[in-house]
Amino acid sequence: MVQSFKKGKDISVMIWGAIYGNRRSDIVLLERDPDSEKSGYTANSYLTILREQIPRTYEPGRIFMQDNARIHTAKKVMAWFEEEGISLLDWPPYSPDLNPIEHLWAQLKQWINDHYPDLIQMGKSEADYQRLFTAIHEGWDAIRQEAIDALIKSMDTRINAVIRAKGWYTRF
């Protein structure tokens, strides 16, 4: 998941995507929670996406990886994973972010900046949001599968580098 993707005049959206095996999920835009204090993204927003997307992507025996964002670790989210029998990778609270999807988020942002440079000036109209959503979907589809495969294959190297560095900085 990407945390607040800001473009232009404080417009922000939160998106969710997954990579697994030799595939990727759909890229999905989270809905804001109208019941939250600031109509932002909450555990409820995240649960909606999980309920829709996990049956399409998760297979028993796999380990689901997410970071320690508050909406990911909320009690109701953790209870849902347990109820569904979904194994989670246990991240230490202050661990380096080794999740390979973080590199895809950077590639996606770069692709959008390269192909839609005018979005930096966008406003908050419905047409502006639709244009951003189009850019996000096109960018996600444009990421080469070979890039995803290489990131997944790099997990052993990433983890071993952190172990060798005793939790300190690595090139990842």
For residue 6, give both structure tokens.
């800001």
Helical H runs in the chain?
Answer: 43-57, 70-73, 75-84, 101-115, 126-142, 145-153, 155-164
Please say whether the beta carbons of 119 and 65 come within 8 A: no
Per-residue model confidence (pLDDT) at position 91: 77
pLDDT of residue 10: 54
User: What span, in angstroms and rounded, lies between the C-alpha atoms of 157 and 92?
Assistant: 18
pLDDT (0 to 100) of residue 35:
86
Angstrom distance (rounded) from CA 80 to CA 71: 12
Cβ atoms of 66 and 1 closer than 8 Å = yes
pLDDT of residue 6: 47
pLDDT at residue number 121? 83
Contact 99, 170 (CB under 8 A): no
Instruction: Supply the pLDDT for residue 124.
Output: 81
Residue pair 89/65 in contact by the 8 Å Cβ criterion: yes
CA trace torsion 138, 141, 142, 147 (10° rounding): 150
Give me the pLDDT at residue 136, please: 96
Look at residues 104, 79, 147 and name the one whose alpha carbon lies nearest to residue 2: 104
The CATH homologous superfamily of the domain defined by 2-164: Ribonuclease H-like superfamily/Ribonuclease H (3.30.420.10)
Tell me the C-alpha distance between 169 and 110, whole Å: 24
Query: What is the pLDDT, as a whole number, of residue 95?
Result: 64
Amino acid at 141: D
Give the pLDDT score at 117.
Answer: 92
Residues of the chain with pLDDT under 70: 1-11, 92-97, 172
**pLDDT number for residue 8:** 43
